[in-house]
Amino acid sequence: MSVLAAASTWAVALVLLVSGLSHARAPRSTRAALQAHGTLPSSAHRWLALVLGPVELVLAVGLLAVGLGVLGRPVVPVLGLGAAVLCLGFAAYLHVVRRRTVGQEVPCGCGLGTTPVTGWSVVRAGVLGVLALAAVVLPTGPWAAIPGAPVWAQVVVAAAGGLTLAVATAALPAARAVPAGLTTLTGAVR
Amino acid sequence: MSFTASALVLAFVAIALLALGLAGLLRQVSLLTQQLEGGAAAPHQGAGARTTRELVGFRVPGDLAAELVDPTARHTLLAFVSPGCSSCSLTLRALAADPQVADGSAALTLVSAGSCAPGLQDADGAGRLRCLPQGRTVMDRLAVPATPYLALLDASGTLRAALLPEEDTDLGGWLRQADTTLHQAGARPSTREDSPS
On whether the CB atoms of residues A124 and A52 are closer than 8 A, the answer is: no
Contacts of B193 in chain A (CB under 8 A): 178, 183
**Coil, strand or helix: which one is A73?**
coil
Q: Which residue of A has its CA nearest to B140?
A: A190
Nearest CA distance, B31 vs chain A (angstrom): 7
Nearest CA distance, B39 vs chain A (angstrom): 14
- Asked if B55 and A188 come within 8 Å (Cβ–Cβ), the reply is yes
Q: Which residue of B has its CA nearest to A149?
A: B3
Who has greater pLDDT, A77 or B192? A77
Q: What's the pLDDT score for residue B196?
A: 46
Mean pLDDT of A27-52: 89
- Asked if B9 and A157 come within 8 Å (Cβ–Cβ), the reply is no
Q: What is the DSSP letter of B126?
A: -
**Range of lowest pLDDT (A150-159, B14-23, B27-36, B38-47):** B38-47
ipTM: 0.75
**Coil, strand or helix: which one is A79?**
helix
pLDDT in tens, B75-105: 889 999 988 888 888 889 888 888 888 888 8
Band (pLDDT 50/70/90 cuts) for residue B197 is very low
- Shortest CA distance to A31 belongs to which of A46, A20, A52? A46
- Asked if B65 and A103 come within 8 Å (Cβ–Cβ), the reply is yes
Q: Is the pTM of this model over 0.90?
A: no
* List of residues 6+ apart from B174 with CB closer than 8 A: B150, B161, B163, B165
The answer to whether residue B194 scores a pLDDT higher than 50 is no
d(CA B104, CA B106): 5
Q: What's the pLDDT score for residue A100?
A: 86
Q: Provide the greatest CA pair distance for chain B.
A: 80
Closest by Cβ to B3, choosing from A103, A154, A185: A154
Q: What's the pLDDT score for residue A183?
A: 54
**Coil, strand or helix: which one is B149?**
strand
- Asked if B196 and A119 come within 8 Å (Cβ–Cβ), the reply is yes
Closest by Cβ to A2, choosing from B6, B14, B20: B6
Mean pLDDT of A122-126: 94
Q: What's the pLDDT score for residue B136?
A: 84
Domain B52-187 - what CATH class?
A: alpha beta
Q: What's the pLDDT score for residue B54?
A: 67
pLDDT in tens, B131-166: 998 888 888 888 788 888 898 888 878 888 888 888
pLDDT in tens, A68-121: 888 877 788 899 999 999 999 999 999 999 888 876 778 888 888 778 888 899
Nearest-Å Rg of the Cα atoms of chain B is 21
